[in-house]
Amino acid sequence: MKKIINDPNQVVQDMVDGLIAANPDSLKQVPNTFVVARADAPVAGKVALVSGGGSGHEPAHAGYIGKGMLDAAVCGEVFTSPTPDQVLEGIKAVDSGNGVLLVIKNYTGDVLNFEMAAELAEAEGIQVEKVIVNDDVAVEDSSFTTGRRGIAGTVFVHKIAGAKADSGAKLEAVKAVANKVVTNVRSMGIALTPCTVPAAGKPSFTLEDHEMEIGMGIHGEPGIDRTSIASADEIATTLTEKVLEDFDFSGEVAVLVNGLGATPEMELYIMNKKLHEILSERGIKIYRTYVGEYMTSLEMAGCSVSLLKLDDELKELLDAESTAPAFRS
Amino acid sequence: MKKIINDPNQVVQDMVDGLIAANPDSLKQVPNTFVVARADAPVAGKVALVSGGGSGHEPAHAGYIGKGMLDAAVCGEVFTSPTPDQVLEGIKAVDSGNGVLLVIKNYTGDVLNFEMAAELAEAEGIQVEKVIVNDDVAVEDSSFTTGRRGIAGTVFVHKIAGAKADSGAKLEAVKAVANKVVTNVRSMGIALTPCTVPAAGKPSFTLEDHEMEIGMGIHGEPGIDRTSIASADEIATTLTEKVLEDFDFSGEVAVLVNGLGATPEMELYIMNKKLHEILSERGIKIYRTYVGEYMTSLEMAGCSVSLLKLDDELKELLDAESTAPAFRS
């Protein structure tokens, strides 16, 4: 295991300390938790957004904390859902009395624990709503999930619901636009290499030197096919066609070409070239393109493609101000 | 070789196409070159900044094109200096009649080719100045370099000189502040794994499973020591002490913890935690911290640490507006 860490069982604590040290003016740690919040939380008069999940997907989710995006991120152990009490602490740290929206990636552990936290918070008089993101079209059920998994498309939910909350909208309206994003976003990825959870010390699976896995999840969950490594153009075609088959994207879209951790930015741009050609051929207009590492799997090599169908409301919210370190607009 | 590419000999062309496709409003390609420039170049009344070098270090340098940073980046083949005629095209594309500053990382090929391009541009009546960045304290000479290498500290030169140019300063003043950054910045890195140039198809060196190389360059040039992988705290201590020995950083600094390509953001934040502790113990005040991938080596695992000593002028320029995709302020 080649990692720049100290104690493999302390990586989340060390990471949170380093993250706060890097952003002392904009972020704070909720004492005795792995909850990271806006330094100025709770923000008066505003619906608060809380997300999170297992660590190892950085910059998701703490990198998306800032004006116009998340109010808090709850950091679980690597690839492990945070406990309900941690999520509850996140909710309590950011609620200004205007309610809290939980943005949950669809993994069984996350859904259970965030829902339990919501019940606990409601028992304390906090209004809580939730949206569940399930953008990955690769498989219907998976080792971590009932139903489709939530992957990089989640970042669009953070951005757009965050902008809506920042505009002063009420909880129901923030939830509604978050659900509109969930309805309109689809993603799919491939992996070239596995990754190693620090406390495990070895990869959870292997891929041969010539192999890639199509539709692999962001925790290494099985995909739909294992093949020889295809060209960038073939990979872009496979992923984009599967995404386009699943939903009618005619009109205008935002594109996210996401690196899983070890893939050079060069390769993501090479993917993006073909993606633009495919969408152009189909008459789909690209409003914005995001290329980079938005939702990773530690040092996994690979990428995912997300498409979000836009309307005027979503375009305006996508372009609204964000001060989050990992999504500056 | 596990890469998401098409023809290994066409990666730079494909990347530039994908980069322009992603940023059609802010970037343009100079026809028949691998020069990427601000879409609105030349910007009237402004000194222009041109940088570049071998590709494979993304987001350096094209990701730093924007208001308040670079006007153009010249993309060479992977780990190969761009030719003088390409650099000349970059200079000509962005000069508004106010002169051009070349920001050159100290590699023999880059220095020769950028200097030759400067002579050619001057022969065409364009005023050109240059700064050479040599922030890497690891080794005095290297396989690609006479004198110290230029690595991630270069990004501070882009940011600060770019802000100075954006303020309407003359060429001599922009050059002077760029040289002030060069004087005040030091960096050093370690590598855990090699990387593979696509056209070569295999790594240029190997590291055993337990090994890391201290002081390795961003093209895999030899460092100063090969040891067993140390803890994050030990690595942070080694790098920071070597940087601090080389220059008096007492006062206030900016910190850059840079990932070389395959290192998870989590590990960079773990490094940052210790770095802040070390600087705090020494009474050095941290003004800003940047953590992420700023100057990479394809899919190399590893990181570098850069410190920049600040004064009031440098702080103001560091915080000035940048619209560059890879350095939003």
Q: What is the pLDDT of residues B91-104, one digit of tens each?
A: 999 999 999 999 99
Which pLDDT score is estimated for A146?
84
Residue A80 touches chain B, beta carbons under 8 Å: no
pLDDT one-digit tens code per residue, A67-91: 999 999 999 999 999 999 999 999 9
A6–B233 CB contact, under 8 Å: yes
Q: Which residues of B are catalytic?
A: 57, 219
B6–A271 CB contact, under 8 Å: no
For B1-59, the DSSP string reads: -----S-GGGHHHHHHHHHHHH-TTTEEEPTTSSEEEETTPSPTT--EEEEEEEESSTT
Q: B4: nearest CA in chain A?
A: A232
Rounded to the nearest angstrom, the minimum Cα separation between B193 and chain A is 8
A293–B293 CB contact, under 8 Å: yes
Which pLDDT score is estimated for B63?
98
Catalytic annotation present for A57: yes
- The whole-angstrom separation of Cα A242 and Cα B8 is 26
Find residues 92-131 of chain B whose CB sits inside 8 Å of chain A. none
DSSP-derived 3-state class of residue B269: helix
| Chain centroid offset of residue A321 CA | 19
- A270 close to B14: Cβ distance less than 8 angstroms: yes
Q: How confident is the model at residue A94 (pLDDT cuts 50, 70, 90)?
A: very high
- The whole-angstrom separation of Cα B23 and Cα A273 is 11
Q: How confident is the model at residue A15 (pLDDT cuts 50, 70, 90)?
A: very high
Residue A56 touches chain B, beta carbons under 8 Å: yes
Select which of A57, A61, A158, A210 is catalytic: A57
Which pLDDT score is estimated for B143?
75
Q: B59: nearest CA in chain A?
A: A265
Examine the pLDDT at A204 and tell me if it is beyond 90: no
Mean of all residue pLDDT scores within chain A: 97
- The whole-angstrom separation of Cα B55 and Cα B195 is 13
Contacts of A296 by beta carbon, 8 Å cutoff, 6+ apart: A56, A57, A58, A59, A60, A218, A258, A259, A260, A261, B264, B265
- A163 close to A322: Cβ distance less than 8 angstroms: yes
Catalytic annotation present for A61: no
Q: What percentage of chain B has pLDDT greater than the value 70? A: 100
Q: A233: nearest CA in chain B?
A: B6
Nearest to A299 among B17, B263, B303 (CB): B263
Tell me which DSSP letter residue B139 carries. -
Suggest the residue from A270, A293, A297, A305 to mutate for an interface test with chain B (most B CBs closer than 10 A): A270
Which pLDDT score is estimated for B53?
98
B273–A23 CB contact, under 8 Å: no
Tokens describing residue A32: 């005795």
Find residues 184-213 of chain A whose CB sits inside 8 Å of chain B. 192-193, 209, 212
Q: How confident is the model at residue A51 (pLDDT cuts 50, 70, 90)?
A: very high
**What φ, ψ does residue B77 adopt, rounded to 5°?**
-60, 170
A129 beta partners: A101
CATH 3.40.50.10440 boundaries in chain A: 8-184
Which pLDDT score is estimated for A42?
98
pLDDT one-digit tens code per residue, A119-134: 999 999 999 999 999 9
- The whole-angstrom separation of Cα A68 and Cα A90 is 17
- Which residues in chain A have Cβ-Cβ distances shorter than 8 Å to B302? 4
- Which residues in chain A have Cβ-Cβ distances shorter than 8 Å to B303? 4
Nearest to B59 among A17, A265, A303 (CB): A265
Tokens describing residue B152: 């991630």
Which pLDDT score is estimated for A145?
81
- A111 close to A124: Cβ distance less than 8 angstroms: no
pLDDT one-digit tens code per residue, A242-286: 999 999 999 999 999 999 999 999 999 999 999 999 999 999 999
Tokens describing residue A190: 């491939």
Rounded to the nearest angstrom, the minimum Cα separation between B126 and chain A is 32
Please give the helix or strand (H or E) that residue A290 lies within, else none.
strand A285-292
Determine if the pTM surpasses 0.95: yes
Q: Is the peptide bond before A264 cis (omega within 30 degrees of 0)?
A: no
CATH 3.30.1180.20 boundaries in chain A: 185-319
Query: What's the half-sphere exposure (Cβ side, CA atoms, 13 Å) at B126?
Result: 25
Which pLDDT score is estimated for A142?
77
User: What CATH number does domain B185-319 carry, 2.60.120.200, 1.20.210.10, 3.30.1180.20, 1.10.10.1200?
Assistant: 3.30.1180.20
Find residues 268-297 of chain A whose CB sits inside 8 Å of chain B. 268-273, 276, 289-291, 293, 296
Average pLDDT value for residue range A299-324: 98
Q: A63: nearest CA in chain B?
A: B265
Tell me which DSSP letter residue B208 carries. -
pLDDT one-digit tens code per residue, A184-200: 999 999 999 999 999 99
**Pick from B124, B127, B111, B8: which is nearest to B51 by CA?**
B111
For chain A, the first-to-last Cα distance in angstroms comes to: 36
A296–B265 CB contact, under 8 Å: yes
Q: B272: nearest CA in chain A?
A: A18
pLDDT one-digit tens code per residue, B105-163: 999 999 999 999 999 999 999 999 999 999 999 998 777 788 999 999 999 999 999 99
pLDDT one-digit tens code per residue, B231-254: 999 999 999 999 999 999 999 999
Tokens describing residue B22: 């992603």
Query: B8-184 — its CATH code?
Result: 3.40.50.10440
Tokens describing residue A144: 């971590």
Residue A2 touches chain B, beta carbons under 8 Å: yes
- B287 close to B254: Cβ distance less than 8 angstroms: yes
Q: How confident is the model at residue A144 (pLDDT cuts 50, 70, 90)?
A: confident
B267–A3 CB contact, under 8 Å: yes
Question: Which of A215-224, B28-37, B105-114 bottoms out in mean pLDDT, i.e. has the lowest?
Answer: A215-224
Please state, in angstroms and as integers, the Cα–Cα distance from residue B77 to each residue in A37, B145, B153, B314, following that order: 43, 18, 22, 33
